[in-house]
Protein backbone atom coordinates (compact mmCIF):
# COMPACT_ATOMS: atom_id res chain seq x y z
CA UNK A 1 0.00 0.00 0.00
CA UNK A 2 1.40 3.32 -0.97
CA UNK A 3 -0.25 6.28 0.74
CA UNK A 4 2.28 8.94 0.00
CA UNK A 5 1.53 12.46 1.03
CA UNK A 6 0.83 14.55 -2.10
CA UNK A 7 3.03 17.20 -0.51
CA UNK A 8 5.97 14.81 -0.70
CA UNK A 9 5.63 14.89 -4.44
CA UNK A 10 5.57 18.63 -4.48
CA UNK A 11 8.62 18.80 -2.26
CA UNK A 12 10.37 16.24 -4.41
CA UNK A 13 9.68 18.21 -7.58
CA UNK A 14 10.76 21.33 -5.87
CA UNK A 15 14.04 19.82 -4.68
CA UNK A 16 14.77 18.48 -8.11
CA UNK A 17 14.74 22.01 -9.38
CA UNK A 18 17.58 22.96 -7.08
CA UNK A 19 20.59 22.52 -9.28
CA UNK A 20 23.27 24.51 -7.56
CA UNK A 21 22.68 24.39 -3.85
CA UNK A 22 22.34 21.66 -1.26
CA UNK A 23 21.51 22.83 2.23
CA UNK A 24 21.91 19.51 4.01
CA UNK A 25 25.12 20.55 5.81
CA UNK A 26 23.61 23.91 6.80
CA UNK A 27 20.44 22.21 8.05
CA UNK A 28 22.46 19.73 10.10
CA UNK A 29 24.58 22.49 11.50
CA UNK A 30 21.55 24.66 12.35
CA UNK A 31 20.24 21.88 14.59
CA UNK A 32 16.62 22.95 14.20
CA UNK A 33 17.27 26.68 14.35
CA UNK A 34 15.51 27.97 11.22
CA UNK A 35 16.29 31.58 12.01
CA UNK A 36 19.97 30.66 11.78
CA UNK A 37 19.44 29.13 8.31
CA UNK A 38 17.74 32.32 7.11
CA UNK A 39 20.47 34.45 8.64
CA UNK A 40 23.16 32.47 6.85
CA UNK A 41 21.32 32.63 3.50
CA UNK A 42 20.84 36.40 3.90
CA UNK A 43 24.51 36.87 4.75
CA UNK A 44 25.53 34.88 1.68
CA UNK A 45 23.12 36.75 -0.60
CA UNK A 46 24.29 40.13 0.61
CA UNK A 47 28.06 39.58 0.70
CA UNK A 48 28.49 37.50 -2.47
CA UNK A 49 27.78 40.24 -5.06
CA UNK A 50 30.40 42.44 -3.35
CA UNK A 51 32.94 39.64 -3.38
CA UNK A 52 32.20 38.94 -7.04
CA UNK A 53 32.81 42.59 -7.93
CA UNK A 54 36.02 42.50 -5.98
CA UNK A 55 37.31 39.41 -7.74
CA UNK A 56 36.34 40.82 -11.16
CA UNK A 57 38.24 44.05 -10.66
CA UNK A 58 41.23 42.19 -9.21
CA UNK A 59 41.19 40.02 -12.31
CA UNK A 60 41.13 43.08 -14.61
CA UNK A 61 44.14 44.47 -12.77
CA UNK A 62 45.86 41.10 -12.80
CA UNK A 63 46.10 41.39 -9.04
CA UNK A 64 46.50 37.68 -8.38
CA UNK A 65 46.99 38.11 -4.66
CA UNK A 66 43.54 39.66 -4.30
CA UNK A 67 41.98 37.10 -6.64
CA UNK A 68 43.35 34.41 -4.35
CA UNK A 69 42.33 36.20 -1.14
CA UNK A 70 38.72 36.67 -2.28
CA UNK A 71 38.40 33.09 -3.53
CA UNK A 72 39.78 31.86 -0.22
CA UNK A 73 37.43 34.02 1.78
CA UNK A 74 34.42 32.59 -0.05
CA UNK A 75 35.23 28.99 0.71
CA UNK A 76 33.19 28.70 3.93
CA UNK A 77 30.05 30.15 2.33
CA UNK A 78 30.35 27.75 -0.59
CA UNK A 79 30.48 24.89 1.87
CA UNK A 80 27.50 26.12 3.87
CA UNK A 81 25.38 26.61 0.76
CA UNK A 82 26.51 23.25 -0.57
CA UNK A 83 27.50 24.59 -3.99
CA UNK A 84 29.54 21.51 -4.79
CA UNK A 85 30.30 22.49 -8.40
CA UNK A 86 32.16 25.49 -7.08
CA UNK A 87 34.52 23.59 -4.85
CA UNK A 88 36.67 22.44 -7.71
CA UNK A 89 36.54 25.86 -9.38
CA UNK A 90 37.75 27.53 -6.20
CA UNK A 91 40.55 25.01 -5.73
CA UNK A 92 41.81 25.75 -9.24
CA UNK A 93 41.54 29.52 -8.83
CA UNK A 94 43.48 29.26 -5.56
CA UNK A 95 46.11 27.03 -7.08
CA UNK A 96 46.69 29.09 -10.22
CA UNK A 97 46.57 32.49 -8.53
CA UNK A 98 48.88 31.58 -5.67
CA UNK A 99 51.48 29.90 -7.87
CA UNK A 100 50.84 32.32 -10.75
CA UNK A 101 50.60 29.48 -13.22
CA UNK A 102 48.03 28.88 -15.99
CA UNK A 103 46.93 32.46 -15.49
CA UNK A 104 45.17 32.45 -18.88
CA UNK A 105 42.66 29.95 -17.42
CA UNK A 106 41.64 32.13 -14.50
CA UNK A 107 39.19 34.49 -16.34
CA UNK A 108 37.13 31.52 -17.54
CA UNK A 109 37.11 30.04 -14.03
CA UNK A 110 36.08 33.34 -12.48
CA UNK A 111 33.25 33.63 -15.04
CA UNK A 112 32.02 30.20 -14.16
CA UNK A 113 32.31 31.10 -10.50
CA UNK A 114 30.16 34.21 -10.98
CA UNK A 115 27.50 32.45 -13.04
CA UNK A 116 27.09 29.64 -10.54
CA UNK A 117 27.04 32.02 -7.57
CA UNK A 118 24.33 34.14 -9.16
CA UNK A 119 22.21 31.09 -9.90
CA UNK A 120 22.74 29.85 -6.37
CA UNK A 121 21.55 33.17 -4.95
CA UNK A 122 18.32 32.93 -7.00
CA UNK A 123 17.71 29.40 -5.75
CA UNK A 124 18.43 30.45 -2.18
CA UNK A 125 15.87 33.26 -2.31
CA UNK A 126 13.20 30.64 -3.07
CA UNK A 127 14.56 27.99 -0.71
CA UNK A 128 14.73 30.51 2.11
CA UNK A 129 10.92 30.77 2.19
CA UNK A 130 10.77 27.24 3.60
CA UNK A 131 12.47 28.45 6.77
CA UNK A 132 10.67 31.72 7.39
Partner 1 sequence: MNCIVIDDEELSRKSIEHCIKQSDFLNLKMSFDSPIKALSYLQTNKIDLIFLDIEMPEMTGIEFIKTLKINVPQIILATSHPEFALEAFEYTVTDYLIKPLTFSRFFKSVSKAKEIFDNQQSFSAESDDFFIKKGTSIIRINKSEILWVEASGDYAILNTRKEKFMVHSTMKSIEDKLPMKDYLRVHRSYIVRIDKIDCIEDDAISYDKKLIPIGKTYKEEVYKRLNLLT
Q: What residues line the site for partner 1 (CB under 8 A)?
A: 25, 29-31, 33, 36, 39-40, 43-44, 47, 69, 72-73, 75-77, 79-80
71/106 with CB nearer partner 1: 71
Which residues have CB under 8 Å from 67's CB, separation 6+?
55, 58, 59, 93, 97, 106, 110
Contact 105, 96 (CB under 8 A): yes
CB of 132 to partner 1, least distance (A): 18
82/106 with CB nearer partner 1: 82
3/61 with CB nearer partner 1: 61
113 by DSSP, 3-state: which?
helix
Amino acid sequence: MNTSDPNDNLKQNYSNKLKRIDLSYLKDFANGDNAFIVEMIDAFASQTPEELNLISSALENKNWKTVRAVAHKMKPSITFMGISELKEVVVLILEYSSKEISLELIPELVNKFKTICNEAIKELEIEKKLYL
